[in-house]
Amino acid sequence: MLKKNWTWVILGVLCLVIRYFAVRFPEATERIYSREFFPAIRNIIDISISRLPFPTVYLFFLGVLASLGLFIWKVGKREGWKGKLLFSGRCVLNFAGFLVFFFLVLWGFNYQRVPIFQQLGLKPVALEKETLVNELVLTRDLLHQIRPNISDDTLAIGKTLPYDELENVVRANIRENLYMMGLNFTGHPRTKELYPGGLLRKLGILGIYFPFVGESYIDPTLHPLEKPFTIAHEMAHSYGVTNEGEANFIGWVICSHSDNPLLQYSGHLRLLSYQLNDLYRLDPAGYRQFLTTMDKGLRNDLIDISENHRQIKAFSLELSRRSNDLFLKAQGVKAGVKSYAQLPMLAYAWRNKLKGK
């Protein structure tokens, strides 16, 4: 990266050219990259660095720091301000090319694949109030049915499975359901807890997929009832699902179709939260009335989750939202951060598909 050449600049530009054509030919991108090349990358990562017992993102940033130190040392050896400036400019451009190349090759071309909902034949549309309320009633009733299989009382559920066991349970379910939906399920991706706890949440996110090491991470301080769905969401990214709304949808399908009541409950809880947000926007009074129809145990869980959210505040939620929105739109996700909230529409479309409608 610090040599007197433009290798990474050239490779980065080449990948951007390929991306230009990938955007225009999503079927070819799906067939060549998402179905053939990326699964190979997935398997190579999973049998190598992902076996390390700690987040490999630590090694990535150690490498960046080492490269920065080497860069500063070499700049110091250059004579004259012009030589230092030219060398620095070349190194910065090469580093940018390095990031672009590996981001796209290791994962990023999946942004140009055929949308998952289109592959599944789903036709999501905005839900009218009556339909939304009916969906809320269904989700609430499912939660009421599932909860007694997790806890016998109405106290907030504050402890579930050990993390390693939970990760394995989610992975087993996601592979089975991706196969059912005709999507790539090869590999053994890891979703690890990233320490120090609270760091991701202070950055305004619950989890993240880091393509440069092929691993996803969640914040260990998440509420125990949020972890199963969040792991499923991040593992969906690990399998090449890039759109946030589609990753939410995959996460919900994984959890709701599981035989494990904890996964079912976590998935429907997340769907309920999005549905409640939509109802509040359409009818604040109806939203408050609906809250009174929920069992005490479910209400206590929602209150406990809200309390957990209040314990750690993001440095700047607006900055986090805007930067994430800009990144997603730059990758071709037109809805940006609003794509997260597409889950109620996709869940409704999926339920109709299963009914044959």
Residue 312 Cα distances to 209, 216, 270, 316, 317, angstroms: 21, 21, 19, 12, 12
Distance CA 168, CA 101 (A): 31
What is the reported pLDDT for 354? 85
Q: What DSSP character marks residue 37?
A: I
Handedness of CA 255, 256, 260, 265 (dihedral sign): positive
What is the reported pLDDT for 180? 79
CB contact set of 74 (below 8 Å; sequence gap of 6+): 2, 87
Residue 347 Cα distances to 31, 36, 122, 173, 267, angstroms: 26, 28, 10, 18, 11
Torsion of CA 42, 47, 48, 51, to 10 degrees: 110
CB contact set of 84 (below 8 Å; sequence gap of 6+): 75, 78
What is the reported pLDDT for 258? 94
What is the reported pLDDT for 69? 95
Exposed/middle/buried for 103, CB within 10 Å: 0-12, 13-18, 19+? middle
What is the reported pLDDT for 163? 96
What is the reported pLDDT for 320? 52
What is the reported pLDDT for 2? 43
Peptide bond into 261 cis (omega under 30): no
How many residues in the chain? Answer: 357
pLDDT tens per residue across all 357 residues of the chain: 444 689 999 999 999 999 999 999 999 999 999 999 999 999 999 999 999 999 999 999 999 999 999 999 989 888 888 888 988 999 999 999 999 999 999 999 999 999 999 999 998 888 899 999 999 999 999 999 999 999 999 999 999 999 999 999 999 998 888 887 878 778 899 999 999 999 999 998 999 999 999 999 999 999 999 999 999 999 999 999 999 999 999 999 999 999 999 999 999 999 999 999 999 999 999 999 999 999 999 999 999 999 999 999 887 656 555 665 555 455 555 544 454 568 999 999 999 988 876
Distance CA 68, CA 63 (A): 9
Exposed/middle/buried for 104, CB within 10 Å: 0-12, 13-18, 19+? buried
